Structure 1
Amino acid sequence: MALPSIPDYALPTDLPAPRASFTLETDRAALLIHDMQRYFCAAFGPDALSRAGSTLARVTQNIAALAQAARAAGVPVFYTAQKGNQLLADRGLQADLWGKGMNAIPEHEDIIAALAPQPGDIQLVKHRYSAFQRSNLAELMRARGRDQLIVTGIYAHIGCLATVCEAFQRDIEPFFVADALADFSREKHDMALAWVAACAGVPMASDAVRTTLGDAACN
């Protein structure tokens, strides 16, 4: 039931065409950095962050660039992170699929150093696959006049996909940043992109998102 050992794979560049016609707007958007904790990142290997060109290193670089652009443009940056040593009753059915989860130690709980939250960023405790479950993400977005969510992080076909699905059902327009997401495999990653494009949101490349955010920051 533990996480798999994840080999490197090439990040998608040929993105599926979305059914939705949503257009990213900086004054409506928030950025989500989903579950980029040391426990989840460790599945990519002990040297994945330091190994040039690795899947995790490239994704981390792209997320960091997006976060920098978002802060400069006044776009709220949200983080999700799970707590260790969860009570079984609180962990719920996730325990049946993934076991007891992480321990309450920095080596598991901490966001990786390259993506450490900055002053003004908002950190939420993660309880289920979707970032909206048992959190006040929707309320915090609404208070800031935000009804679009840029989704990055891990894993694309699990929590990131569930978050997109729930965002759509809450009338929040989701944007799924293909090269700022990582997954168990390229097959799982592509499946998540295809589902989002067909049913809920807009897959984008990080360069295109940064361009939108950067243009707003220059205005």
Structure 2
Amino acid sequence: MAIPRIAPYPLPAAPISPAARWSLDPQRCALLVHDMQSYFIEAYDTSASPMDTVLPNIRRLIDAADDTGVPVFYSAQPPRQQQSRRGLLSEFWGEGIRTEEEAAIVGDLAPREHHHVVTKWRYSAFARTDLRHALAFAGRDQLIITGVYGHMGCQVSAVDAFMNDVAPFLVTDGIADFTAADHHNTIDWVARRCGVALPTTRVLEQLTSAPTSPEA
């Protein structure tokens, strides 16, 4: 069961009045590149919105993270998952990723040697992984979230971060979804219920300047 083709759509704006007033601290945050694997990205026209903006924005964030010493984590599902590991996902999405080529992170975003790749089994990058422990070991309690798909893995990862006292920062133009409505609803829900939603430009500004608030 392949991922259906995703029609181009315009990127929605960030919420005007976020519930939380947190600021990113380069000494406390990490970057998550969520499921940017060929299998998932092939559903998009990468020359059109949203992906023609999302891909370069994630690249900019990875480069900025490297420049400021912010750890970069990738989540990636493995190919040829045993049914005992895939579980109920197969009821919705079939067998999923089949080959190493489908499982590869898309070329422009390929992880570097010092980056961390988390093998992922469910929608959330925290479910059945060591991401929470890795963040704690690195002394990080803020997580910048990018990737696909917004209303599934990105949103659920933001919720799980919040539940584990890791403040999530969702990049509004660094995620992509099935539709503009899904994308907007993801931003709105995260901003009102568990985190902060910021565009790439604001994230980059905060990564390269001192934090303005001790909160989060």
Same fold (TM over 0.5): yes
Partners of 1:40 and 1:16 lie apart in 2 by 30
Q: 1:125 to 1:178 in 2, by over 3 A?
A: same
Q: Does residue 89 of structure 2 align to residue 94 of structure 1?
A: yes
Residue pair 2:187, 2:197 contacting (<8 A) in 1 also: yes
Residues 62-104 of structure 1: per-residue CA shift (max 9 Å, x gap): 0000010011000000000001111112101111111110102
2:71 counterpart letter in structure 1: P
Partners of 1:19 and 1:36 lie apart in 2 by 28
Partners of 1:181 and 1:204 lie apart in 2 by 11
1:204 counterpart letter in structure 2: L
Structure 2 gaps, min length 5: 211-216
Residue pair 1:4, 1:184 contacting (<8 A) in 2 also: no
Q: Does residue 39 of structure 2 align to residue 39 of structure 1?
A: yes
* Structure 1 residue runs of 4 or more that deviate by more than 4 Å after TM superposition: none
Residues 107-163 of structure 1: per-residue CA shift (max 9 Å, x gap): x11000000101211011011010011111111111111000000000000000010
Partners of 1:176 and 1:55 lie apart in 2 by 15
Instruction: Provide the aligned length of Structure 1 versus Structure 2.
Output: 210
Q: Does residue 150 of structure 2 align to residue 160 of structure 1?
A: no
TM-superposed CA distance for 1:16, in Å, is 4.6
- Structure 1 residue aligned with 2:23: 23
Residue pair 1:37, 1:110 contacting (<8 A) in 2 also: yes
Q: 1:135 aligns with which of 126, 129, 133?
A: 129
Partners of 2:171 and 2:143 lie apart in 1 by 10
- Structure 1 residue aligned with 2:185: 191
Normalised by the length of structure 1, the TM-score is 0.92
Partners of 1:117 and 1:2 lie apart in 2 by 25
Structure 1 gaps, min length 5: none
Partners of 1:25 and 1:59 lie apart in 2 by 23
Partners of 2:56 and 2:116 lie apart in 1 by 20
